[in-house]
Amino acid sequence: MTIKKGIIVTLGLLMGACVPQRLMEETKAKLNSCETDYANLKKSSQETDARYAELKELDGKNQKSLYNLQRDSTVMGNNYRQLNDKYTKLNNINDQLLDKYNKMLAGSEKDNAKLSGELQLTQEQLLRKQDELKALEAKLNKQQQDLDAISAELKKREARVAELEDVLRKKDQAAADLRKKLSDALVGFENKGLTITTRNGKVYVSMDESLLFASGKTSVEPKGVEALKNVAKVLEQNADINVMVEGHTDDVPMKGAGEIKDNWDLSVMRATSVTKIMLTGTTIDAKRITSAGRGEFFPIDPAKTPEARKKNRRTEIILTPKLDELLKVLGNNN
């Protein structure tokens, strides 16, 4: 038996017991009012369920989008989880209110008004949380765009670094090839007052004083001239090599007078003599060669012994592959 039929039977019994007509009409009016409130509350509950389903679907989409943002920041992630917890709590509150409503088939107008107010407040809170979720999603999308831009820039830089490494590799290979050519050309001189080494992409041909000069002199000895001519032949065949000729002395002060005043003068004049010999009778462009005197200020061995000073009295020919391609890459990186 439905509530309405039960109330009608009750009314009949009351009428049979001579209940006043006015009391019966008041009871009917209360019944109608209760039914209207019930219908309104049921409609509000359905609307709340629909809104809940919509919000739940939207929340699922938001969670999927957030899952795809693998690099979201810790702060944003925490904010999302906090909002999600609040959202779940509000859903639980809503379920509790609906349960109260289902159990409450009758009650005072005061209780019904309170329940309606709580339902409305819950709906407003859900809407606010939805707005917060949308705002958070917008922030995360902006952050993803920024991360994508950074990733693109990093890829560009990686490509430039790879290009630069390739140029450096070619430069090192060119230095290695040059060293082999020099070793082949100077096979009779190497380890006989002449050494060839490679450092930092450059080839160093170091010649002892005993191979090139008499003590305190600036004119090159015949055996030294032969070695320098062999170096010049290699340089003629490799036009993309820059040359630095450096003269070095020991730390013993020069004695006597004349055009050579000190060790620095001696080192400069020896470097110039070596340079002129390599240029004479060759096709080497003089613009490729720089002559410099280092004096006693760059010793190989700083000891104050005859053996150390002998090592320091030397002439170094420093060969550097041209860096035009490398400079071009660096210029493109600006």
How far is it, in rounded angstroms, from Cα 295 to Cα 298? 7
Residue 288: pLDDT over 80? yes
- Judge if 124 and 193 occupy the same domain: no
Annotate 235-259 with DSSP letters as a single string. Answer: HHH-TTEEEEEEEE--SSPP-S-SS
* Residue 175 covered by a domain: no
Residue 208 pairs in a beta bridge with: 314
* Residue 287 covered by a domain: yes
- Judge if 133 and 197 occupy the same domain: no
How far is it, in rounded angstroms, from Cα 274 to Cα 218? 9
What are the tokens at 75?
């702060």
Tell which of 105, 137, 157 closes a domain: 157
Alpha helices (H) along the chain:
3-16, 21-68, 74-103, 109-185, 209-212, 222-237, 263-279, 306-312, 324-332
How far is it, in rounded angstroms, from Cα 182 to Cα 106? 109
* Domain of residue 25, residue span: 3-157
Residue 303 pLDDT class (50, 70, 90 cuts):
very high
Secondary structure letter of residue 42 according to DSSP: H
* Residue 181 covered by a domain: no
The number of beta carbons lying within 10 Å of the beta carbon of residue 1 is 7
CATH code assigned at 280: 3.30.1330.60
- Judge if 137 and 241 occupy the same domain: no
Residue 326: pLDDT over 50? no
* Residue 176 covered by a domain: no
How far is it, in rounded angstroms, from Cα 80 to Cα 311? 72
pLDDT digits (tens, 9 = 90+) for 12-35: 554 554 456 888 788 888 888 888
- Judge if 137 and 269 occupy the same domain: no
* Residue 127 covered by a domain: yes
Residue 333 pLDDT class (50, 70, 90 cuts):
low
- Judge if 218 and 255 occupy the same domain: yes
Place of tokens 């693998």: 70
How far is it, in rounded angstroms, from Cα 248 to Cα 46? 98
**How many structural domains are present in the chain?**
2
Question: Higher pLDDT residue, 290 or 150?
Answer: 290
CB contact set of 83 (below 8 Å; sequence gap of 6+): 129, 132, 133, 136
pLDDT digits (tens, 9 = 90+) for 160-195: 777 777 767 777 787 788 888 888 878 778 778 999
The number of beta carbons lying within 10 Å of the beta carbon of residue 172 is 14
Would you call 38 helix, strand, or coil by DSSP? helix
The residue type of 201 is G
Proportion of the chain above pLDDT 70, given as a percent: 85
- Judge if 69 and 114 occupy the same domain: yes
* Residue 165 covered by a domain: no
- Judge if 195 and 322 occupy the same domain: yes
- Judge if 196 and 320 occupy the same domain: yes
* Residue 167 covered by a domain: no
- Judge if 8 and 151 occupy the same domain: yes
How far is it, in rounded angstroms, from Cα 294 to Cα 121? 88
Catalogue the E-assigned strands of 164-302: 194-199, 202-208, 241-248, 289-295
- Judge if 300 and 246 occupy the same domain: yes
- Judge if 88 and 208 occupy the same domain: no
What mean pLDDT is predicted for residues 278-296?
A: 95
Tell which of 136, 157, 178 closes a domain: 157
* Residue 315 covered by a domain: yes
How far is it, in rounded angstroms, from Cα 5 to Cα 47? 28
Would you call 172 helix, strand, or coil by DSSP? helix
How much is the pLDDT for 106? Answer: 59
pLDDT digits (tens, 9 = 90+) for 235-253: 999 988 999 999 999 999 9
How much is the pLDDT for 100? Answer: 78
What mean pLDDT is predicted for residues 54-77?
A: 73
How far is it, in rounded angstroms, from Cα 43 to Cα 210? 111
Residue 63: pLDDT over 90? no
- Of the ranges 117-126, 231-240, 259-268, which one carries the lowest mean pLDDT score? 117-126
How far is it, in rounded angstroms, from Cα 93 to Cα 107? 21
- Judge if 151 and 269 occupy the same domain: no
